[in-house]
Amino acid sequence: MINVLIYRLVIGLYALGIRVASLFKPKAKLFIAGRKGLLDKIRQALSTEQRRRIWVHCASLGEFEQGRPVIEALRAKHPDYAIVLTFFSPSGYEVRKDYDGADYVFYLPVDSPRNAQAFVDIVGPSICLFVKYELWYFYLSALKQNAVETILISARFNKEQGFFKWYGSLQREMLDCFTDIFVQDQVSIDLLKSININHAIIGGDTRFDRVVKAAAQVAVLPIAEEFCEGYKILIAGSTWADDEQLLYNALPSLPTGWKLILVPHEVHVSHINEIVRLYGNDVVKWSDWNGKSDKRVLLIDKVGFLLQLYRYGTAAWVGGGFGKAGVHNVLEPAVYGMPCFYGPVFHQFTEAVELVELGGAEVINKPEDLILALVSFDNTDMYQKKSVAAKQYVLGRQGATAKVMERIDHFIS
């Protein structure tokens, strides 16, 4: 009981902190504004919906991309069910609020006994899917009390998480609310068994299915084709300031015949202007492209098509490897058979570690390392070996979506 009280206190303090932050932070403002009268909006939206419902919850955009293959498989195989998709974070909701793979897209009301029970009563899900990590005690309790089949997908656990600590009893209780837990590896299975959670299954990582499917959907980008024609291209995706500085320092020494496409993680005007000031006469913005340019750097100042851009690359720089949170998505470039480069902060991501071990990626600490690696690609056999390693790593790990769908089909039947 004391753990529940502490949990409620923490959630309350978090909500208060967000409210204060909303006075000066745009994302926090969206968080608050998006939840005004939210339960009434959900009730009204679903008031005429006659189909049974499947609820899918994602913390943010990354979790959505992880759950997306399952959502799309549900839509294709069970059109007689309405799909209700929720997000906790504005960075997920604001980007995907018009996603046509779901019938309804909402923010998730802040976790509380009242909100959770009201939401579950309104939505009335037959099945609920939580993606990867984000667990909410009162929602999971309400689902269990209402005997809703509740599945956690693409989860990965490590011994440092609260579930496995002396203070983690409430978190362990949350895990017990799931009907099934699909994890990515045997390590997770073993850790869960150590705390008497025995209903976990190795299901793999649905992101592999997602990137393979997305890469097969060819999108022609005329500006990219014009910029890239006749050149080898290093595409730097989801970059932060440290990545951008290293790439700028490497630019004068890029091997002959190479160009750079720079896709920053943050594309707000102030950051784009900072990059333009740094790169000076070497850069042209996507929005300023007029059909021809002698610039060596194309700066992408809009969002939403990094995966499609990777198709034009020879090699990829994946940003985030110099920051505390670590490297971003390495699967998106790897699926195209592009050797990948990233900074030294990557060990918390199994796929980034495995890609390095298999030779499909290389860790870069300074500009000189990058230049040497690009020069080595003059050796066609060297390049092909790394390219094949990257692509086969992704292609060989498909199938997680099918495993989840098999279980869902069992519940539905």
Contact 334, 340 (CB under 8 A): yes
CA distance 346 to 241: 17
- For the record, the structure tokens of 328 come out as 């971003």
CA distance 12 to 330: 36
Does residue 318 sit in helix, strand or coil? strand
CA distance 178 to 165: 20
> What is the biggest distance separating any 2 CA atoms in the chain, rounded to whole angstroms?
67
Instruction: Lay out the sheet containing 297-299: strands in order across.
Output: 283-285, 297-299, 258-264, 232-239, 315-318, 340-342, 361-363
State how far Cα 338 lies from the chain centre. Answer: 20
CA distance 123 to 228: 48
One-letter amino acid of 241? A
State how far Cα 109 lies from the chain centre. Answer: 21
Residue 76, CA atoms < 13 Å, CB-side half-sphere: 9
> How many CB atoms neighbour CB 199 within 10 A?
12
Which among 63, 149, 244, 362 is annotated as catalytic?
63
β-pair partners for 263: 237
CA distance 157 to 181: 11
Question: Where do the H-state alpha helices sit in 38-112?
Answer: 38-46, 61-77, 90-96
**Is residue 362 annotated as a catalytic residue, yes or no?**
no
- For the record, the structure tokens of 171 come out as 């978190």
Identify the CA nearest to 326 among candidates 351, 306, 308. Answer: 351
- For the record, the structure tokens of 2 come out as 């004391």
Dihedral, CA of residue 387, residue 248, residue 251 and residue 297, to nearest 10: 80
Task: State the DSSP code for 312.
Answer: G
Task: Quickly tell me which residue has 């006469």 as its tokens.
Answer: 281
CA distance 169 to 1: 11
Which residues are tagged catalytic? 63
